[in-house]
Amino acid sequence: MTNNAQLVDLLGVGPSPSGPVSTSEIVRQVREGLPVQALERVASAVAPKDRNFRFSVVKKATLTRRNAPQAGSARLSELEGAKVVRLARVWALACEVWKDEDAARAFLHRPHALLEGRPPIDIVMESEFGGPRVEAILGRLQVGSVA
């Protein structure tokens, strides 16, 4: 499974001055608002050729407003941050299982029989219950079970 160091690296939120970042620290950062750059980093990893993918997490108008110079330090809401972390966890696990970013990307964007023929990425983005469903499939693939 993914570890906090992988998430911190992918999200670009930086290590804790007191050592390894704990799950509690990630939760705190999400609650306080992850920087918009975390969304940009994850979206660029998951869908590098799709500039509009980030708008499936945060609406275009909202993201534009948050990135405006007068907005100051752009932050995601707690719900948006939770979605970004969920996506980052699944992405990191997919990369770990497939050992190749292109293969991980193909898995996430290709319809899957255990997800009613829907792409895993859609399931992850749909609700908080989607991440664990896709992680379970990836876990089964990781140990060589039928998925």
Looking at residue 89, its amino acid is: R
**Per-10-residue mean pLDDT for the chain, 147 residues long?**
78 74 88 94 97 94 81 84 97 96 98 97 96 96 79
> Which three-class secondary structure state does DSSP give residue 143?
coil
**What is the pLDDT at residue 144?**
82
Cα distance between residue 16 and residue 22, in whole Å: 9
Domain range list for the chain? 4-145
**What is the pLDDT at residue 4?**
80
**What is the pLDDT at residue 56?**
93
On the CB side of 4, how many CA atoms lie within 13 Å of its CA? 13
**What is the pLDDT at residue 145?**
73
